[in-house]
């Protein structure tokens, strides 16, 4: 088995220098603050729904049919078609201006656009100790339908706060990545094992040991290879860019993660205390031609 060790000490230093700024910009919220936010969102949604309902009811109906459900009703109305609004004058001017560009101007505008790359990966975080990444090689024209090659990467960076989907700019390249993160802790695995033992079956732990020792104080990642094959250059480029982006914004990502968790718990508690009631539904429709044919 071959290990390719890649140091990210420079990124780690950048993250430290940004720590104070990011911490001041993104602070976690308390349970009471989360509750207040959820209540405000519920109130705002109720206002929007009431406004939309009033708008639908104000339309002139030429035919109506009501379907009575168990705890609410559905009103299906054929209405007079609404008047289409004229396009804003500024939008028309912008459209006309875009049509006057020459081929050379269009070519220059396209050339000025940054390069774009997509990153596909999945992450398993083992407590706060280390993370395992499965990086997938981008498809190309030669193998559009072939399953992408996967490469196994280990890192001492806790990637628990990596967003599932994100976009960021780095070195004149716009990266968009899609990755799913699964977190496994020793405590959860011990509970699962104990729970299984009490019920008479064996639980196979999902915990994996990291195959390498990392340098204390350095942010590093290791590419693990069990066979001789060509390493795509995109792997190094994308991982360097992603780790740099993550380390520079880790405090903000963590605060956003904790905020999201607090709001999720507050919403669950609110819905438990205030279960939603079924609401009446209004469906308005109109013909798409002057003759009324569809």
**How does residue 237 score in pLDDT terms, banded at 50, 70 and 90?**
very high
- The two structure tokens encoding residue 259: 């905020």
pLDDT score for 26: 57
pLDDT score for 98: 57
**How does residue 21 score in pLDDT terms, banded at 50, 70 and 90?**
very low
Mean pLDDT across the stretch 122-138? 93
**How does residue 108 score in pLDDT terms, banded at 50, 70 and 90?**
confident
Which bin fits 196, alpha (ψ -120 to 50), beta or left (φ > 0)?
alpha
- Does the model's pTM come out above 0.75? no
Mean pLDDT across the stretch 268-273? 96
How many other CB atoms are found less than 10 A from the CB of residue 41?
14
**How does residue 188 score in pLDDT terms, banded at 50, 70 and 90?**
very high
- The two structure tokens encoding residue 293: 């044919």
- The two structure tokens encoding residue 132: 């395992």
pLDDT score for 274: 95
Mean pLDDT across the stretch 180-209? 94
For 90, counting Cβ atoms within 10 Å of its Cβ (0-12 exposed, 13-18 middle, 19+ buried), the class is exposed
pLDDT score for 210: 94
Give Dmax over CA atoms of the chain in angstroms.
76
pLDDT score for 84: 73
Question: How far, in Å, are 145, 179, 208, 245 from residue 119 at the CA level?
Answer: 18, 8, 24, 13
Pairwise CA distance, residues 213 & 210, whole Å = 8
Question: How far, in Å, are 107, 122, 161, 267, 280 from residue 179 at the CA level?
Answer: 34, 5, 12, 25, 39
């Amino acid at each position: 088995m071959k290990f390719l060790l890649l140091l990210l000490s420079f990124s780690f230093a950048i993250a430290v220098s940004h720590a104070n700024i990011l911490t001041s910009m993104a602070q976690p919220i308390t349970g009471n603050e989360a509750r207040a936010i959820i209540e405000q969102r519920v109130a705002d949604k109720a206002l929007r729904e009431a406004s939309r309902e009033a708008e639908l009811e104000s339309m002139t109906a030429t035919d109506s049919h009501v379907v009575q459900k168990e705890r609410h009703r559905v009103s299906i109305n054929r209405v007079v078609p609404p008047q289409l609004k004229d396009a804003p004058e500024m939008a028309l001017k912008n459209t006309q201006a875009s049509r006057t560009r020459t081929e050379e101007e269009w070519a220059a505008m396209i050339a000025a656009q940054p390069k774009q790359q997509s990153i596909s990966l999945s992450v398993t975080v083992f407590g706060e100790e280390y993370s395992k990444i499965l990086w997938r090689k981008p498809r190309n024209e030669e193998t559009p339908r072939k399953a992408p090659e996967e490469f196994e990467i280990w890192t001492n960076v806790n990637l628990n706060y990596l967003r599932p989907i994100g976009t960021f700019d780095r070195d004149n390249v716009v990266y968009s990545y899609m990755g799913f993160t699964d977190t496994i802790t020793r405590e959860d695995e011990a509970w699962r094992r104990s729970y299984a033992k009490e019920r008479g079956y064996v639980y196979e732990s999902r915990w994996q040991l990291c195959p390498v020792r990392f340098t204390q104080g350095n942010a590093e990642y290791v590419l693990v290879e069990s066979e001789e094959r060509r390493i795509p250059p995109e792997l190094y480029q994308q991982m360097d860019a992603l780790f740099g982006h993550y380390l520079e914004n880790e405090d903000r990502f963590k605060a956003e993660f904790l905020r999201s968790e607090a709001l999720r718990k507050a919403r669950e508690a609110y819905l438990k205390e205030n279960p939603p009631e079924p609401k009446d539904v209004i469906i308005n429709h109109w013909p798409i031609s002057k003759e009324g044919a569809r």
